[in-house]
Amino acid sequence: MLKRVITYGTYDVLHYGHINLLKRAKALGDYLIVALSSDEFNEIKNKKSYYNYDQRKLLLESLRYVDLVIPENNWEQKIDDIKKYQADIFVMGDDWKGKFDFLKDYCEVVYLPRTPNVSSTQTKQYLKSSF
C-alpha cells in the first residue's frame, strides 16, 4: 500500500537545507506531496518571496524527491489536504514542534530536525550584502 507524506512551506531561495528536509520526508513514505505557499498566502503571512509561485513550483517539481506540488492558500486547509490526498504522514521542520499536533487525529505527525547553519533568511541576507 502506498504511503503518502505531506509537507508545507514557502521554499523561497531553495537551498540544501530544503533538499535535505524533502529527502528525509520522502524517505518516510512512497509519495511526497509539497503544499507550496501561494503568493497571496505569503502576503497574508507578511512574507515576500524572491521567486513567484509558478517559479518556486517549477523548482520543487524538478526535484526527484517531490511527487506532487499543490498550492497552500491558508492555514486552515491542512486537514482537508490530508483527507483529499490520503496522507499518512504530515512532516514539518522541528522549529514547528507541537504546532501541528492537532493533526494526529488524521495522520502521523513528524517533526524533522532542520539542517544546521542554513536558512532562507541567512541566504537572502548574505546575497543582499554580497552584491
Catalytically annotated residues: 45, 47
User: Distance (Å, rounded) from C-alpha 33 to C-alpha 84?
Assistant: 12
For the chain, how far is it from start to end, CA to CA, in angstroms?
Answer: 50
DSSP string, 25-79: HHHTSSEEEEEEEPHHHHHHTT---SS-HHHHHHHHHTSTT--EEEEE--GGGHH
